[in-house]
Structures are given as structure tokens and as C-alpha cells.
Amino acid sequence: MEEREISQAVIGRLPRYYRYLGELLSNGVERISSSDLSKRMHVTASQIRQDLNNFGGFGQQGYGYNVKYLHTEIGKILGLNVNRNFVIIGAGNLGQALANYAGFERSGFILKGIFDVNPRLEGVSIRGIPIRMMDDLKAFIMENNIEIAVLTIPKTKAAEVAQMLADTNIKGIWNFAPTDLHLPKEVVVENVHLAESLMRLSYKVERYNEEHME
């Protein structure tokens, strides 16, 4: 594919295209028109054409999009064409739930280790992966080519652990702790602030109520 600048707005929509194309693919669909995809995704066909033009994944007029080609190209843009090793730090309820989710592996994210400070969890296994103590984290990251750390620890510990991670080769942090991390730019962060998401839902509920009680 040609090198080309793709806007942030388009990038933000790619995971959703990737998901829909993946579903089509597993349903055996080989090609789809922008108007059919538009109906499925509840997005205008013109938006879809504009977005997907970035990837050149459209054939002749009337042919539609080649599903497999587009899925592959978008996967490459998202960096999903290579495997990435990750560790989960914090084996509480949320950490264990994420550790038990096998779906990440299908996108190339390979869980290599789980870490906690609680000595009672030491050696307990989740999907065959033993929980290790935090003292071993740094060496483990170095020795196992870990690119991503998932932080499912209390916010009071998050800054300190993130700082420790910044001193390793780690490239990205998927942060579930309800706090903002301030790290050198070579460590990228993606936040999942669940409490804030719930507040946005609450806002929508409240606003809908107000508008329909007047």
C-alpha cells in the first residue's frame, strides 16, 4: 500500500471498520458495497467511501470492497499483523477478568505474565500463566520481549508502577487505573477510565429525562 497521511478522525474509526470487516470475513462474505456496509454500520455510504478510499481497497464500480484485502490493510495500519507480548499488572478482579479473556490473542496480543503484590496470589495460575510477584517484573519484561503492560492496579500505585515501566523497554501502557499517567513520549498510553464512561452514560440518561419531562 502507498504511504499516505491518514487523519486522526479516520484512525479513530478504524477499529470499528476492522470489527465489521472481520465479522463479514468469518461469515464468508468476500465483497460488500459501500451502501450495504453503510446499512450494517449505521454510517453514511459517503463517509465509508471517504474513509476507505485511504486504503485503496475498492475495485471497479459495482464490484464493491474486497473484504479480506481491506481487513488485512486496516489490520496492518493498526499494527495487528504482528504479535505483541503483554503483561497484566494487578491480579485483582479486573486483572483476572482480562487475563481470562482469550479474544486478545486472536488480535495478536499474547499474554506472557501476570503480576501482583499480594503474596497469597503467588503461583496461582490463570489460563496456565502463574501470577508472579512485582519484584520480578523488570527482569521479566526484559527477558520476554514485553511490549505492552496492562495496569489494573489502584490509582494510588499507578504513577509509581508506570514510572518503573518507563525505565524498561515497554512501549505501551493500557491503563485502567482511574488516574492520568505522565510519562516520557516513548511510552504511549491508552486509558480506559470506566468511571468516566459510566458518568457519560449517566449524563445521557439525565439529559434524555430532562428533555422528555418538559
The residues binding a copy of itself (CB under 8 A) are 11-12, 14-16, 18-19, 41-42, 77-80, 84, 92-94, 96-98, 100-101, 103-104, 107-109, 147-148, 171-174, 178, 180, 182, 185-186, 188-190, 192-209, 212
Shortest distance in whole angstroms from residue 69 CB to a copy of itself: 19
Shortest distance in whole angstroms from residue 125 CB to a copy of itself: 15
Shortest distance in whole angstroms from residue 171 CB to a copy of itself: 5
Shortest distance in whole angstroms from residue 123 CB to a copy of itself: 20
> How many CA atoms within 13 Å lie on the side-chain side of 19?
9
Q: Provide the 3-class DSSP secondary structure of residue 213.
A: coil
Q: Which is nearer to a copy of itself, 59 or 92 (CB)?
A: 92
Closest to 88 measured CA to CA, from 140, 45, 51, 13? 140
Q: Which is nearer to a copy of itself, 19 or 118 (CB)?
A: 19
Q: Which is nearer to a copy of itself, 14 or 133 (CB)?
A: 14
By residue count, the chain amounts to 214
Q: Which is nearer to a copy of itself, 82 or 119 (CB)?
A: 82
Strand boundaries in the chain, DSSP class E? 31-32, 65-66, 84-89, 109-116, 125-126, 129-133, 146-151, 172-175, 188-191
Cα–Cα distance, 212 to 15 (Å, whole number): 34
Q: Are 33 and 65 in contact (CB under 8 A)?
A: yes
Q: Which is nearer to a copy of itself, 12 or 28 (CB)?
A: 12
